[in-house]
Amino acid sequence: MDRSTNLDIEELKMTREQYILATQQNNLPRTENAQLYPVGIYGWRKRCLYFFVLLLLVTMIVNLAMTIWILKVMNFTVDGMGNLRVTKKGIRLEGISEFLLPLYVKEIHSRKDSPLVLQSDRNVTVNARNHMGQLTGQLTIGADAVEAQCKRFEVRASEDGRVLFSADEDEITIGAEKLKVTGTEGAVFGHSVETPHIRAEPSQDLRLESPTRSLIMEAPRGVQVSAAAGDFKATCRKELHLQSTEGEIFLNAETIRLGNLPTGSFSSSSPSSSSSRQTVYELCVCPNGKLYLSPAGVGSTCQSSSNICLWS
């Protein structure tokens, strides 16, 4: 009982103190001319702020519209831009692409169902450089010529990788099974030609010709010319020389004919002269090796018609 009474007394004291404080604040003197300061932005500052906010909003709208227009024109997608597609293996270009500056790539591939075309108004140049940036190889495709500049140029077969053509500073090697020259003028060689076999195509003639100079065929172990199913002809304007320095000249045939040999005649005082038609002749040789025919008689008639040797 006593405890609850004490609590009531304390609450009454607190209520009384609050009342006194409230009545004292109400009785404080108030000044009639109190100055009031407005809070915020007013006047020209407010108008400038609104103008800048409006300008910023217009700029944002224009930027957003330009961004949407660029995305639409350039055909930006999740995979890439226009004909440019970004894949896991690299970059893929579809259609015609133009490069205004040098292009540095590791590999260039076309699609499986279409070729790769490199086109330029002037020329197409492909350069290869080493790790120090020095030029080691160059391929230039121009309007007049195709030029390759490298230490060694090779053309290989697609099946087994066999070298078909190779060229360097020392030699040019052709590894194809057959070298075919289809030009009307044939093949022109400025210097010597070394080959184990020269053969024409079936049913075609083989012709070796030097229009203004001589044609020389040399071999240390012999030169063999064979015509298995035809004739062998050697024609010249002046002399035809058959020379063997150490061996002999061997003519082996069923019939050996020497045409257009000069024919000697007997003097009028010769007892062997006859007005009948001569059909048998004797083959005679001059001291210089010239051959001529002399009408055959009972004995040798070479001495009687040896006047041909005087004019040879």
**Distance in angstroms (rounded) separating the CA atoms of residues 229 and 250:** 21
Taking only the tens place, the pLDDT of each residue in 161-171 is: 889 889 988 88
**Residue 278: count of CB within 10 angstroms of its CB:** 15
Q: What is the dihedral of CA 38, 42, 45, 51, to 10 degrees?
A: 140
Range picked from 145-149, 212-216, 256-260 for highest mean pLDDT: 145-149
Residue 123, pLDDT score: 85
Residue 270, pLDDT score: 47
Q: What is the dihedral of CA 62, 67, 72, 75, to 10 degrees?
A: 170
DSSP at 263: B
pLDDT at 90 over 70: yes
Range picked from 37-46, 60-69, 79-88, 287-296 for highest mean pLDDT: 60-69
How crowded is the C-beta side of 34, counted as CA atoms within 13 Å? 5
pLDDT at 63 over 50: yes
Residue 235, pLDDT score: 83
Query: Which one is predicted more confidently, 293 or 63?
Result: 63
Name the token pair of 25: 């604040």
Contact 153, 167 (CB under 8 A): yes
**Average pLDDT in the 140-160 region?**
87
Residue 36, pLDDT score: 62
pLDDT category at 6 given cuts 50, 70, 90 is: low
Contact 262, 294 (CB under 8 A): no
Distances (CA, A) of 5 to 11, 30, 53, 230, 232: 10, 42, 67, 157, 159
Segments making up each domain of the chain, as ranges: 43-95, 116-150, 152-185, 281-306
pTM: 0.40
pLDDT category at 45 given cuts 50, 70, 90 is: confident
Q: What is the mean pLDDT of the chain?
A: 78
DSSP at 167: E
Residue type at position 80: G
Taking only the tens place, the pLDDT of each residue in 199-240 is: 777 787 888 877 788 888 888 888 888 777 778 888 888 888
Residue type at position 70: I
pLDDT category at 55 given cuts 50, 70, 90 is: very high
**Distance in angstroms (rounded) separating the CA atoms of residues 155 and 146:** 15
Residue 234, pLDDT score: 82
Contact 146, 165 (CB under 8 A): no
Pairing between β-strand 281-285 and β-strand 291-295 as defined by DSSP bridges? antiparallel
**Distance in angstroms (rounded) separating the CA atoms of residues 138 and 149:** 5
The full length of the chain comes to 312
Residue 275, pLDDT score: 47
